[in-house]
A = this chain, B = another copy of it.
């Protein structure tokens, strides 16, 4: 049994409280928020959970094993740091922190203290994303040429972060996870249409070591919500449409075949095969429940984490490099990965 305390009861916190409450192997002991109305709402919903406006009460509580952080991004680092220092395991919502520097410090701290640090990159716990990873690594798609992702909608304009930091963490996390790799370089262009200095539309290009390239299009300026990822392999292609409820993944038995065909005019022909489409059945489990259970399993059973601090830090590195590229008008910039921290666990 893992006893948790939840810091932040705003937009996402209640979902985490609900899920950790419903697990057989965890219990929510207390929650914290600076806003009184959020606390009283939590008390009404969960009368047995203690509620406090001082998150340090949670850190001091010896009954609590793990701290769940669902605060605004700016608080991720200070709260996670104190929680680790208090000896707690830490689950922090994505992105891990506001900067690579902060993220690196957290990863090192968790490793040094032998505590679990996990980042809430929920997509790596979805049935769809895991199906994509299976399809890639079983070889069914062939060699992966290209991944393209669109994540656009009419934006909830954030005050402090641009559209890249708001939406692209999902795509980078998904791509790193399904390719089991990390981009070697990033280039990005972004535009600020609505608020000066805060990009609301951006295009990123990531280069992965195995020659695959990836594009990410994020936008707050689209009346249609699109959540689509296309993976182009030498044998098959797939499209992952996260908006669709029942048909999230479509596998196209189409591919590009390079046929070195020289006719009298010396022409070089490429052909594509067009074939059947397969829509695999996926499980219905709520990803957030899987994610919370995973956090408990990492702590209790020591299973390797799909979304650990290193994963979260890799995402920060890509985001920060994208920001530099945007300021340099799209220049391709290599990502310098720090050496992986050895865990004391």
The proximity string for A residues 148-161 relative to B, scoring 1 for CB distances below 8 Å and 0 otherwise, is 10000011010100
One complex includes copies of this chain to the number of 4
Binds B, one of A52-60, A83-91, A107-115, A222-230: A222-230
Instruction: Choose among B157, B215, B221, B269 the residue that contacts A201 (Cβ–Cβ < 8 A).
Output: B215
What's the nearest-Cβ distance from chain B to residue A144, in Å? 10
What sequence of 0s and 1s flags, for each residue 50-93 of chain A, a beta carbon within 8 Å of any chain B beta carbon? 00000000000000000000000000000000000000000000
Q: A47-B47, A254-B223, A329-B330 are in contact. Are A146 and B279 (CB under 8 A)?
A: no
A219 located at the interface, meaning its Cβ lies under 8 Å from any Cβ of chain B in the complex: yes
Stretch at the interface among A97-105, A185-193, A296-304, A335-343: A185-193
* CB interface residues, A 226-284, toward B, < 8 Å: 230, 232, 237-239, 247, 250, 252-254, 256, 258, 267-270, 272, 274-281
Contact of A279 among B222, B277, B329 (CB under 8 A): B277
A96 to chain B, nearest CB (A): 24
Whole-angstrom CA separation of A256 from B278 in the bound complex: 21
From B219, B267, B277, B332, A247 is in contact (CB under 8 Å) with B277
Number of interface residues of A (CB under 8 A): 59
In the complex, per-residue mask of A275-316: 1 if CB is within 8 Å of any chain B CB, else 0? 111111100000000000000000000000000000000000
User: Does A15 have its Cβ within 8 Å of any Cβ on chain B?
Assistant: no
In the complex, what distance in Å separates the CA atom of A47 from the CA atom of B43? 12
Taking the complex as formed, is A35 at the interface, i.e. its CB lies under 8 A from any CB of chain B? no
Is A210 interfacial (CB 8 A cutoff)? Answer: no
A74 to chain B, nearest CB (A): 12
Cβ-defined contact, B146 with A221, below 8 A: yes
Q: Does A203 contact B (CB under 8 A)?
A: yes
Verify if A213 is at the interface (C-beta below 8 Å from B).
yes
Q: Are A275 and B281 CB-contacts (below 8 A) given A239-B223, A330-B330? A: yes
Does A195 sit within 8 A of B, measured CB to CB?
Answer: yes
A181 at the binding interface (Cβ < 8 Å) = no
Q: How far is the CB of A215 from chain B (nearest CB, A)?
A: 7
The listed residue (B146, B224, B230, B330) touching A193 by CB distance below 8 A is B146
A154 to B269, CA, bound (A): 15
A-B contact pairs, 8 of them (CB 8 A): A145-B221, A189-B203, A189-B205, A194-B256, A195-B258, A201-B215, A217-B217, A278-B279
Seed contacts A154-B237, A194-B258; 15 additional CB < 8 Å A-B pairs: A145-B194, A148-B222, A154-B254, A189-B205, A191-B205, A201-B215, A203-B215, A222-B237, A223-B230, A224-B239, A247-B277, A277-B281, A278-B278, A329-B330, A330-B331
